[in-house]
Amino acid sequence: MPRRRGRPYRRGMELSGGGWALVLGPGGPVGTAWLTGLAAGLRRAGVEPAAADLIVGTSAGAIAGAMIATGRELAAVAELPPSDERRPPVDGSVMAGVVEIGSTAELDPDEARRRIGRLALEAEALPEERHRASMEFLVGTDEWPGRRLLVTAVDVESGKPVVWDAASGVPLTAAVAASSAAPGYAEPVTINGRRYMDGAFGGGSNAGLARGAGAVVLVEPLPQVFGDAAADVRIVPDEGAREAFGENVGDLARWTPAYREGFRQAAAAAERIGPVAGAPGG
């Protein structure tokens, strides 16, 4: 049976009320570390993020969401293993071009994303095979979890946002790699002959996908860039976490400090999420 390439983005697709949804937004590798540490700390505080009836993950949030939903041992990624591999330097002009395109108000959204997609295809960036291998290490499996997980991306040719789930027939790490393939950072990822890039360009944190799923908990590493108010509870990095992030969310040297800050911040976050998630004592 041929695999489907993904479904068009539709708000609230196939969801019914009740329960709660966890929406995890973009934030680069440093944001991924913070989200992962936060999730580990929530578990310790008695709030299980994997108990959400729906998890929506975009970019960094797709990586963290896949780890959470599949039961990955989060402490295992508190520190990244040493690596002698050199990453291509990130060309700042690529993101500058992305910002310029995104700020052109008269552009149709799909056309804007197509232009951003062309930049992504032309940029020298981490090869998609290496990016996929990193996702295989972090996520640890290509099997989608039993719980509902949605992973977003953008088709670079059509400019259309797409969303994958367990029924899509797409390997989990391929979906996660595509969702986190930011222009200039990682090459667009090939899935069934199509190329896909970072899902944030399809709608920020994509909290609209959780509409109708009950209470929404939105966790955003970069709220100043990808703010989305469609949530009952919104968690963002506090001052200590922002200091740990530094100026470059792609700086892997900041992974462990960001993870630790997320873990620390989880105690306060649990007090806000617990009542929504129905956690004991919430």
* φ, ψ dihedrals at 227, nearest 5°: -60, 145
59 is catalytic: yes
Catalytic residue among 59, 134, 179, 205: 59
Alpha helices in 159-252 (DSSP H): 172-179, 223-226, 239-245
Q: Which two tokens stand for residue 172?
A: 């989990």
Q: Which helix (H) or strand (E) holds 13?
A: none
Residue 183's alpha-carbon distances to 69, 142, 246, in angstroms, are 26, 24, 20
Annotated active-site residue 205? The verdict is: no
Looking only at Cα atoms, what is the longest distance across the chain? 52
**Which of the residues 53, 155, 198, 228 is marked catalytic?**
198
Residues in the chain: 282
Report how far residue 253's alpha carbon sits from residue 246's, in angstroms, rounded to the nearest whole number. Answer: 10
Instruction: Give the catalytic positions in this structure.
Output: 59, 198
